[in-house]
Amino acid sequence: MDTFEAIRTRRAVKKFDSSYKMTAEQVKSLMELVILSPTSYNQQNWRFVTVIDQSVKEKISKAARDQAQPKDGSLVVVLCGNMSAWKDEPTRYWRNHPVEKQEQVKNSLARKYADSPQNRRDEAIRSCGFAAQTIMLAARQMGLDSCPMVGFEYDQLAEIINLPEDHLISMMVVVGKAAEPAAERGGQLALDEVVFENQF
């Protein structure tokens, strides 16, 4: 499957085959691709909680207002943002570059994020958005299906995964095999309604 086909066939699956289990190697391969997702200044501020334990997935389903996808899917990935990543040994994000570049990035990170909780939050959510799309497209390439989810009780899910104080939950993505095809697309808007050349 090529990238275009993965994009065209990626759907938010609502019913997963609960008997299908991803292997540890599949999960590892998927996550190795996900950490190639872009982040501003290469700060890699996403953090991923991968859940395959059935008892934990069932707790997540409860937190997700009793939706079945987390408990029936093979893998739940909770995408979190580390809002302290900008100051957490930031020179390591550019360790393959000269020291001058590392220091430049360190200073830029401090200027943008040190005094702006809003910038830290916005960046974490953006980074998780990129990573979520990577999960869904990579899963499709692997012959798997997925469902992005934001319908959950935040505090309940945070407790289940033991979310650190300086982190936030952006969303979760369930991966597995569809038990039945997704419903027909609701209807895409025309290009001329959403795409504007040069300006609105």
pLDDT band at 20 (very low <50, low <70, confident <90, very high): very high
Check: CB of residue 24 under 8 Å from CB of residue 53: no
pLDDT number for residue 105: 96
For 93-178, list the strands marked E by DSSP.
Answer: 145-149, 167-176
Looking at the predicted structure, is the pLDDT value of residue 1 above 90? no
How confident is the model over 74-99, as a mean pLDDT? 97
pLDDT number for residue 124: 97
Mean pLDDT of the chain: 97
Query: How far, in Å, are 23, 146, 178 from residue 67 at the CA level?
Result: 24, 14, 15
How confident is the model over 61-76, as a mean pLDDT? 98
Domains of the chain, first to last: 3-194 (3.40.109.10)
Query: How far, in Å, are 23, 46, 101, 125, 134 from residue 129 at the CA level?
Result: 25, 10, 27, 6, 9
pLDDT digits (tens, 9 = 90+) for 129-160: 999 999 999 999 999 999 999 999 999 999 99
Chain position carrying tokens 């609105």: 200
pLDDT number for residue 24: 97
Question: Percentage of residues in the chain with pLDDT exceeding 90?
Answer: 97
pLDDT digits (tens, 9 = 90+) for 171-187: 999 999 999 999 899 99
pLDDT number for residue 46: 98
Is-above-0.85 flag for pTM?
yes
